Structure 1
Amino acid sequence: MDRNTFTGLFLIMIVLAGSFYFFGPSQTEINKEKERIAADSLKKVAAATKTTAPAIAAAKPAVDSATLSGPFGGSIAGTVQTTVLENENLKLTLTNKGGKILSVEVKGQKTYDGKPVILFDGDQNKFGLKMNIGGKEVNTNDLYFAATKTGNLVSMRANYLGDKYIEYTYDLKPKSNNVAFNINLNGLNQVIQTDSIALNWETTLLEQEKSGKKEKEHAAPFYKYVNETPDHLSIAKDETEELKKGKIEWFSFKQQFFSAVLLPKVAFESGKLGITVLTQPGEIKRYSADMKMHFGQLATQNYAMDFYFGTNKFDVLKAQGHEIEKQVDMGYWPLKYINRFVVLPVFKFLEGFGWNYGLIILILTILLKVAMSPLTYKSYISMAKMRILKPEMDVIKAKVGDDNPTLLQQEYLKLYKQVGVNPLGGCLPMLLQLPFVMAFFFFFPNLFELRGESFLWMKDLSTYDDFIKFGFTIPFIGDHLSLMCVLMTISTLIYTYFNNQISGATGQMKYIGYIMPVVFLGVLNSYPSGLNYYYFLANMLTFAQQFLIKNMVDDEKIHRTLQENKTKPVETKKKSKFQSRLDDYMRQQQQTQIQSKKNK
């Protein structure tokens, strides 16, 4: 290419670029053209939809006459219809699709935001029999039943052929939370060749409480083998468990304060339970159950059961029998025995007076403190003795030094034996009280009676009081601050300060006690306000006890007694087993140190 040709082509490119720039459409015109094209496309799609919709509907396969006249032909297709069973306690909505309970409302109870308590609802609830008929699995959840209502009894029937049918009956008695449920199989022994059928129940339990996170921590499927203690699946993760260790007496879909329980008259042969933790708003967990039932090849086979839909109130569940009340978490051994046989009876007794539950917790705390007062007194006296001995212990430490801790401990033990002091005397009474303190940690979060009950600024004693709402989440604290938890923390810090004054704690021990209350602030901030209220009251009553004991105890008298003990012959003092073991341990440590020095 010569220079003239190249120059001509270059000039033509400049002219074309300039024409595109100066004579091309503006950005506004381009945008308008895009909007016009998009509008035309939408019109074409709408027209195409109108044209093809009838064709698609027409293309939908219809149930042929052979299928309709065959097994379960009249139950394969139908129109969904509902029937309501209702009494003073429950409102059940039954559907002919599957012949099942579609939804359950527990009357007289409200969710935290004031709506009716609906345990489960909608198509997410599946319930039916799985049977092998003609080599194929038939699930009655997919069949349409014919409903007949007589009073508070509803019959759901799906015809197989001729006089062969499946019938469910639901009977709701007045003022009851129980629904009598019967499965009647008539003539199906001619078509079911297996010796068992399966009962399948799947449902999504809905959120009822203020804290969905805490509600999930108390929700799990429970089950009980015959002659064994009830057990449950994981509360923290998805899990599926095969139940093959024995016959199953009952199983339940438990939430924090409500349960759906199925109790067969004849125990299930075996089964499988599953749980899935859900993250969708308003939903807690999804439960599934497949229970194997024996099929005896009888012309008429009947399976009788009972549903329980209602609260997890301990005495209500206990009245159901079968140890269903044990699904209410009362803590580990021995805490569950303290809660069940001590705390709960006293609480129910106080409840009989009709007082506000805040007042009941106050009286309960006072009674507990009075019962524990002898231990509190012994603990105070023991700590006072150690405080009075501290100057003498400091003298010993100055003489021995810190280089030989074993020798220092031996000298301390000699002093303890001379004055008759047990260094653990202040700890043992506190340890004996600890199970009662821990028992309430399980008692209040699972106590249905506190649900919805208010006291002072606390609207619901069964959940946290978000006195301050942040609008955002702070690590370790959460999105709120509970005023009762703050008061409990402050009172614990004050208690720690005065306790250090009594015991004469120094060094690291003096400051360790201040760390735990701060930790508990983060842990208990989302726990029920009733629990924090109890801990706050316990601290305040402890202050009062120590004030009274301090006025009753004369430190000078204790000091004189300790000095008098020094003058008594050591042989007359009986050595405790603890002191004997401690002496042996100290001697072994001293010998080890001496041997180490020789080896060096």
Structure 2
Amino acid sequence: MEKKKFDANSFIGLLLLGAIMLWFMYSSQDEVTPIESSVETVTDTTKNNTVEPNATTIAVSNDSLSNLALQNQLGAFAYGAQTAKKGTTVLENSVLKLVIDNQGGQIIEAEVKNFKTYDSLPLYLIKDKNASFNLNFGTTDNRILNTKDLLFIPSLTKNGDNQVLSLKLKVSDSQFLEYRYEMKPGDYMVGFTVRSQGLSTVINGSNTVKLDWDLDGYRHEKSMKTENMYSTLYFENEDEVDYYQRDATELEETIKWTAFKQHFFSSILLTDTPFSSAQVSTKDLVSADENNKTFTKQFGLSTPLALQGGELNYNMSWYYGPTDYTILKGYKDTNISEIVDLGWGIFGFINRTVFIPIFDLLSGWMTNYGLIIILMTIVVRILMSPLVYKSYVSSAKMKVIRPELQAINERLPGKENAMKRQQETMAVQRKAGVSMMSGCIPALLQMPIFFALFRFFPSNIELRQKGFLWADDLSSFDSIFTWDMHIPIVSSFYGNHISLFPILASVAIFFYMKMNQSQQANMQAPQQEGMPDMQKMMKLMIYLSPIMMLFFFNNYASSLSLYYFISNLLTIVIMLVIKYYVIDEKKIHAQIEENKKRPEKKKGKFRQRLDDAMKQAQEQQAQQKKRK
């Protein structure tokens, strides 16, 4: 068979035909916009080709996918999340401004109006995510949700003059978890309700619903060290107010309120239904980081919430405001005023019943708080002057009978005569109308005043940022010289500044103790063998006490140093007046001689038992001496 030869003309024709067909297909092709694979293609029924989907179709498809994702993530709570939006709501009155975020339904800003920080900035207790409030709970479809991550739907209304903000996490229009805030005019206390409706089939009752509240305390005062020292977590458990200052601890008793106290300002959560138990915690952020200049302490509260019939129902309140005793005392049904550290027992009683009323009375007459402190000091010293007088009279009497006591010591020397010597000494003092305790009692009675005022001035917010002379803030130290260099021991105990009022107070107390030394020397019986030398101890204290005050008070409130400076000056003046114009030693000597002539009064039961005990001890001592 003959082979077919290659036809070149036919091959060229086929190539030309193919090129024409390709050109025709390209020129007649429709322009199509690319579509994401997640969007379905829509076919036109009137034409036999594909058309571009419109914007509405794409939005509907995206919403369907978003709703599906929310359903997978939030379960029943996806219903409200579909319409919830990010945003904030402001509640504000004349003293407090709160900004509440839709996300979490929590307060993200709390500004205490009418107050400024030490560097004249607005004073915030909450700002820039330093605080968190969250409810953690499980659902019946085995999800664990945190309210701080969820968007609430807000609704702002009025209840008379009160502003009411309701924020809801919705399962349906009639099923929701609600946070409700109610702010009154001119009040630091804000009503806060946590309740659920129709969620008994949604919230898993076998899981604990847990409330977590955390806050990092901002620095507000000039002395960060002092502010940190007075920053404490307080709580009331079973009608007893207690505090906690370190790490974390479990509280098994019921808790009525918890306060994160930052010296002069506090954040408090109160509840009408006491929490059954709680874990509270604090952390010292000043000591933890030497470079930290922003935060003082870290506070935390974690507590379970009880379900009632499968629902939450807690009526609570927030307090964001000053740690002012008068303001806090105004909330009658609570004990939150006890977070003001006025001292325990008798010290707190003296502050509440004496010093606070006196201070309020004087501050109603004048606005210069330095002068108020001086006037208050004068009042206190005048009230205490009878004790000073009594002490001086006892000192003068002891000075008169001192030669007789010295003669007894010389006549009955040695340890073997100690009991006899003591009996005769007491007999002379008794006839002269002198008691060793008469000099000690006035000093002891003044000690509660000293410690009460030690608590009163640093806790008094009225003194905050009030100046006097060179002190620009009577609630903080009054530095006249500062330095930046860190000196390990000096900076830790003394600080990086020099305060003038502590120096003046130290000088005044030195001269007071110097004058008081001779008086105390008169009060003491002559030195007896085997007894410690009290004169040497007193001389040591004359120099040691001013040095201790100088170092210890350098970082304390200048109002406290001002008080002690004025108080010691006034005491010196009173002592000089009593010594040179009131006490007449000749009259006292004549009175003692007259007392000696009188028959001795019948002994009381206590003195009789004391004399019998001394006599018995003396007899036993004599018998032991004979045996030897």
TM-score range, shorter chain: 0.7 to 0.9
Corresponding position of 1:207: 219
**2:285 and 2:202 mapped to 1: Cα distance?**
39
**1:304 and 1:526 mapped to 2: Cα distance?**
42
- Runs of 4+ that moved beyond 6 A: 76-79
Q: 2:241 aligned with 1:241, yes or no?
A: no
User: What pairs up with 1:301-380 in 2 under 5 angstroms?
Assistant: 302-321=313-332, 322-380=334-392
**2:576 and 2:268 mapped to 1: Cα distance?**
51
Counterpart secondary structure, 1:425: helix
**1:153 and 1:599 mapped to 2: Cα distance?**
93
Corresponding position of 1:96: 102
How far off is 1:317 after superposition? 0.3
AA aligned to 2:400 is: I
Q: Which has the larger radius of gyration?
A: 2
User: What pairs up with 1:126-205 in 2 under 5 angstroms?
Assistant: 126-134=132-140, 135-150=142-157, 152-160=163-171, 163-194=174-205, 197-205=209-217
Counterpart secondary structure, 2:438: coil
Identify which of 574, 582, 601 aligns with 1:573. 601
Question: Which string of whole-angstrom CA distances, capped at 9 and with x for unpartnered residues, describes residues 389-442 of structure 1?
Answer: 223333333333355544443332232133221122111122122211221111
User: What pairs up with 1:38-49 in 2 under 5 angstroms?
Assistant: none
How far off is 1:330 after superposition? 1.4
Q: Which moved more, 1:486-495 or 1:267-276?
A: 267-276
AA aligned to 1:127 is: F
Corresponding position of 2:507: 490
Q: 2:123 aligned with 1:111, yes or no?
A: no
2:432/2:595 contact within 8 Å kept = yes
Q: Which moved more, 1:156-165 or 1:128-137?
A: 156-165
How far off is 1:512 after superposition? 4.0
Question: Which string of whole-angstrom CA distances, capped at 9 and with x for unpartnered residues, describes residues 547-590 of structure 1?
Answer: 22121111111122223333333xx3344666546544544553
**1:346 and 1:129 mapped to 2: Cα distance?**
46
**1:385 and 1:175 mapped to 2: Cα distance?**
61
Q: 2:431 aligned with 1:418, yes or no?
A: yes
How far off is 1:153 after superposition? 3.5
Q: 2:592 aligned with 1:548, yes or no?
A: no
Counterpart secondary structure, 1:69: helix
Identify which of 584, 587, 591 aligns with 1:557. 587
**1:77 and 1:466 mapped to 2: Cα distance?**
57
2:221/2:227 contact within 8 Å kept = yes
**2:104 and 2:448 mapped to 1: Cα distance?**
50
AA aligned to 1:516 is: S
Q: Is the alpha carbon distance of 1:598 and 1:180 closer, same or farther for their aligned partners in structure 2, counting shifts above 3 Å?
A: same
AA aligned to 1:590 is: Q
Identity of aligned residues (%): 35
**2:592 and 2:605 mapped to 1: Cα distance?**
21
1:386/1:503 contact within 8 Å kept = no
**2:564 and 2:348 mapped to 1: Cα distance?**
19
AA aligned to 2:571 is: T
Counterpart secondary structure, 2:186: coil
Q: What is the TM-score when the length of structure 1 is the normalising length? A: 0.82
AA aligned to 2:232 is: A
**1:581 and 1:493 mapped to 2: Cα distance?**
42
How far off is 1:446 after superposition? 0.9
Counterpart secondary structure, 2:470: coil
Counterpart secondary structure, 2:330: helix
Question: Which string of whole-angstrom CA distances, capped at 9 and with x for unpartnered residues, describes residues 150-175 of structure 1?
Answer: 47443323233565322223232322
Corresponding position of 1:395: 407
**1:488 and 1:580 mapped to 2: Cα distance?**
46
Q: Is the alpha carbon distance of 1:477 and 1:405 closer, same or farther for their aligned partners in structure 2, counting shifts above 3 Å?
A: farther
Q: What is the TM-score when the length of structure 2 is the normalising length? A: 0.78
Unaligned regions of 5+ residues in structure 2, if any? 1-64, 287-291, 523-533
Q: Which moved more, 1:498-507 or 1:123-132?
A: 498-507
Identify which of 277, 289, 294 aligns with 1:270. 277
How far off is 1:270 after superposition? 3.2
How far off is 1:340 after superposition? 0.8
Q: Is the alpha carbon distance of 1:580 and 1:447 closer, same or farther for their aligned partners in structure 2, counting shifts above 3 Å?
A: farther
State the number of aligned residues: 530
Question: Which string of whole-angstrom CA distances, capped at 9 and with x for unpartnered residues, describes residues 494-552 of structure 1?
Answer: 11111122333573243143123322332222221111111122211112221221211
Identify which of 513, 522, 526 aligns with 2:541. 513
Q: 2:309 aligned with 1:297, yes or no?
A: yes
Unaligned regions of 5+ residues in structure 1, if any? 1-62
Q: Is the alpha carbon distance of 1:559 and 1:188 closer, same or farther for their aligned partners in structure 2, counting shifts above 3 Å?
A: same
Corresponding position of 1:254: 261
User: What pairs up with 1:461-472 in 2 under 5 angstroms?
Assistant: 461-471=474-484, 472=486
Identify which of 451, 454, 458 aligns with 2:467. 454
**1:272 and 1:461 mapped to 2: Cα distance?**
36
How far off is 1:219 after superposition? 1.8
1:467/1:480 contact within 8 Å kept = yes
How far off is 1:465 after superposition? 1.4
Question: Which string of whole-angstrom CA distances, capped at 9 and with x for unpartnered residues, describes residues 244-273 of structure 1?
Answer: 323x32222112111111222333333332
